[in-house]
Chains A and B, each alone.
Chain A
């Protein structure tokens, strides 16, 4: 864990990804009275329990149940942010973010630029995304690519509890709009050590999750865990995988991507979002722009197929989603190439 690098012994607690997000919000609301949460059903804790207990602690004004209207949730948050508030706009499911897309893309992303730095829009939009099983088309989507490539927005997608807390705190202290994608499968599936002390994880920095010298795998969100699991399996066969977790999708950590790619010359990008036009396409383009001569084989991508979204039936879902077995097979192929 990165704290070890500092040489300071921190007190650590194991917590879930979900608890990490809740504790980041609570601590920031404690720290800065301008921080508040608004969204659908956030008072009762939200449908994901991310804000559980927070209304009792901070009152219903700062844990504000809004009418069911996503454009309003984001648009109102933008207005408040422009006059000094630090709103956390919760979108109940990332699948429902599209009514707010105009407010996010036309407004939040452009406010600083269009006003020549006179106004700013420091909002955080939390969007639970990804498939957890049985979510079907509209409770499973990965909509990051819709917003990716919108300059003015920052986009983060943590894979660990440590990163979730540190990145959410960083997002709340950032001067620009941050889209915070929380993978729903990570909420309770992922637990790791989180320090008691205040800390942030810088936006725009990727993390090496595993050192290796045969193949490089770049991923983010839930698929990082599939990649790490597969990396352990192929290690037994003598394949050493280097794993990079992007953590921030925008701006991408270009130096880290290039370093990881050059390390082995064999690169695979894994994400749950479908392949065409996904974040992986940009990562591959960056590598080929700068590191063509250090590539040993063509860049490989393992992503969901180009169909509208994941199907409801278990067979459809299993086929659609990347998992550790699929990643392992692709890793073997990459190593053999």
Chain B
């Protein structure tokens, strides 16, 4: 651990323990994702939507925020975000298997995250609605004069929704403490980014009067640094920041999609080689935070946790049928 480059994480304020934890969570997200596909293909679950190729940016962004203090309004590929914010593989597997113990009690599709204790805001399938919620949460932080920020993410396809632009403008006008992160994974289902977005997503920030930063999403330290700076701006009252993390969606859009209809195997293979997790592993090995033996034990521990989570969720009971009628309204009438 000699050169300046290999100790970059310390320079930007990350400890060895933190980067190791980041690496562990990236692995958890990746292994969960692979397992979720297998259980869907074997007929045990109905659906999976993948975040493979985006874990580095997701974990890095979440690590630049304060757990159980700042709020997370993630989108449906953000396994890395929610695992960093406090959700466990156990909880994610219950969500995949839609069992009674799942945070949503089997009501939502997998990847529709929610966890109030961890400040992970409940999400839905219509894209980008959460971006406005983040602005509302930021507004409440300003009203209460609290130093918390709201983080929200979305794809480049979803960045075309009116809600995103209404959110940018609202947050820009009131200089609200929001961090908008576009995970530009190059595809909106089958449509490549150049056919989906006119200009660059990052440049849109300028139109709303706040800074936009484009980062290499496969470089967790770069992402971490950008989000950290955005958070500092936000809490000092300087307003929102848009971060565009450049990534590549390795998997098809979802288990119901055949990506070979609209892109080539060679293209996918090329991007697999750019895998941010492998690069981060190499960095950690290089700077001595990780060695082969530790790596093996980290991987084994992740697999052990994943296997237990899968087994448990597979066997856990489904919700009772009549649970369908619960929680439409507050049971006590919601008197406040």
Contact = CB atoms under 8 A, between A and B. Distances in A.
A92 to B, nearest CB: 15
A319 B334 CA distance: 42
Contact of B167 (A75, A102, A176): A75
B328 A112 contact: yes
A120 interface: yes
Nearest to A87: B136
Contact of A114 (B112, B131, B140, B333): B112
Contact of B136 (A79, A99, A111, A120): A79
B336 A114 contact: no
Contacts of B134: 79
Contact of B137 (A32, A83, A107, A116): A83
Contacts of A83: 71, 136-137, 140
Given A82-B121, A83-B140, A106-B129, A72 B103 contact: no
Contacts of B330: 112, 120, 174-176
A80 B146 CA distance: 13
B137 A69 contact: no
B200 interface: no
Contacts of A74: 132
B295 interface: no
Interface string A73-90: 011111111111111000
A71 B162 contact: yes
A265 to B, nearest CB: 33
Given A69-B169, A80-B139, A174 B335 contact: yes
Chain A interface residue number, banded: 35 or more
A102 B132 CA distance: 12
Contacts of B169: 67, 69, 72
Contact of A174 (B71, B166, B167, B336): B336
Contacts of A36: 143
B126 interface: yes
A75 B121 CA distance: 13
Contacts of A112: 327-330
Contact of A79 (B105, B108, B139, B142): B139
B166 A116 contact: no
B141 to A, nearest CB: 8
B165 to A, nearest CB: 8
A64 to B, nearest CB: 8
A62 B140 CA distance: 11
Interface string A89-117: 00000000001001100110011111111
Contacts of B167: 72, 75-76
B98 to A, nearest CB: 11
A175 B332 CA distance: 9
18 contacts: A61-B143, A67-B169, A67-B173, A75-B163, A79-B136, A79-B140, A80-B136, A82-B133, A83-B136, A102-B126, A102-B163, A114-B107, A116-B105, A117-B326, A120-B330, A175-B329, A175-B330, A175-B332
Interface of B: 71, 73, 102-105, 107-108, 112, 114-116, 121-122, 124, 126, 129, 131-140, 142-143, 150, 162-163, 166-167, 169-170, 173, 326-330, 332-336
Interface of A: 32, 36, 61-62, 66-67, 69, 71-72, 74-87, 99, 102-103, 106-107, 110-120, 122, 151-152, 154, 172-176
